[in-house]
Amino acid sequence: MQVSITVCSPLMLRAEETQRLQERQTTETTLQLRTDFTYTCPLHPKVSMVLFEDLRLDLLPFAPQTVFDLSLTSVSVVYAPIPQLKLTGGYMLKIHGASSANTFREFYSKPVNYIRHRAYASVTGIWKPGHWTLSLREQALCDMRFDEINLYTANRYHFTLRHYLCVQYNFPKPHLTPYVWTEAGNTLNAKAAVHPAHKQYLTCWRTAAGLKWKIAPEKHCGTLNFFYRYDWGCTRSAVITKDHHIYTRHLKHEHAIGIGYEL
């Protein structure tokens, strides 16, 4: 049995841009508190069950209240037939937050608008030459929503594919581990109505660089994680009537500098 708790406080600069008939860009700076909890229960020498919870709160610098941003709760089963390979399958419950009292009241009256479900499966290859560790993951996801939507321009079951690569180096004596990773995702069944030219498109690209420091590992005092992360996201939508076809592309640029503590 393994239990891991991570508390992270990234300072994020968010820029959002909507491209439609006109272009609009908004920028805000937010301090976010993230708490991750991971519980691993071995079921077999090569099989384990993992419970995971990620809670995110926005600490607005000019507002007296804390805003709930996102909750991710997942359960998965991991099968490692050999040390160089991991197969994972699981389910995730996503609860999106509300930003005002009115939307909080709406959330309690109709929570289906803020709840999403996700099923996922992944295969991860791991290679450890010397002090290096390289890992490559391919992950297929199915996001499900059951609120009222226009099925001509949106999917109730949305399939995406994500590609993840991580490289890290372990310095044994100072117990330092610098790392860099990148991840990209693309749609598999986007509606032709929202992207007539190509149909499928890139939905996200994330990359990060950081340094992990084990504090007195012989005493199990935990690990500090210093990092920078860039997150780019893209969503497309369309409003189609008899007279107008309005296509919208919403872009997100997010820079985060933070420090985390893992126990």
Give the pLDDT confidence of 104-157 residue by residue, as tens digits.
Answer: 566 666 777 789 999 999 999 999 999 999 999 999 999 998 888 777 777 889
Determine the Cα–Cα distance for residues 58 and 70; give it in Å rounded to an integer.
9
Place of tokens 């290096």: 132
State the CATH number of the domain containing residue 197. Answer: 2.40.160.40
Other beta carbons less than 10 A from residue 82's beta carbon: 8
CA-angle at 117, arms to 100 and 202, nearest 5°: 85
Q: In the predicted model, what is the mean pLDDT of residues 36-46? A: 92
Total number of domains constituting the chain:
1
Determine the Cα–Cα distance for residues 96 and 103; give it in Å rounded to an integer.
11
Which pLDDT score, from 0 to 100, does residue 22 have?
Answer: 47
Which pLDDT score, from 0 to 100, does residue 218 have?
Answer: 78
Which pLDDT score, from 0 to 100, does residue 242 have?
Answer: 57
Instruction: Give residue 10's pLDDT band: very low, low, confident or very high (50, 70, 90).
Output: confident
Structural domain span for residue 18: 2-262
Contact by Cβ (8 Å): 144, 179: no
Is the sign of the CA dihedral 182, 188, 193, 196 positive or negative?
positive
Which pLDDT score, from 0 to 100, does residue 21 have?
Answer: 45
Q: What is the DSSP string of 14-60?
A: EEEEEESSSEEEEEEEEEEEEEEEEEEEEEETTEEEEEEEEEEEEE-
Determine the Cα–Cα distance for residues 216 and 50; give it in Å rounded to an integer.
27
Length of the chain: 263
* Residue 1: DSSP 8-state: -
Other beta carbons less than 10 A from residue 58's beta carbon: 21
Which pLDDT score, from 0 to 100, does residue 25 have?
Answer: 58
Instruction: Give residue 18's pLDDT band: very low, low, confident or very high (50, 70, 90).
Output: low
Closest CA to 50 of 103, 114, 124: 124
Contact by Cβ (8 Å): 108, 125: no
Strand partners, 52: 38, 74
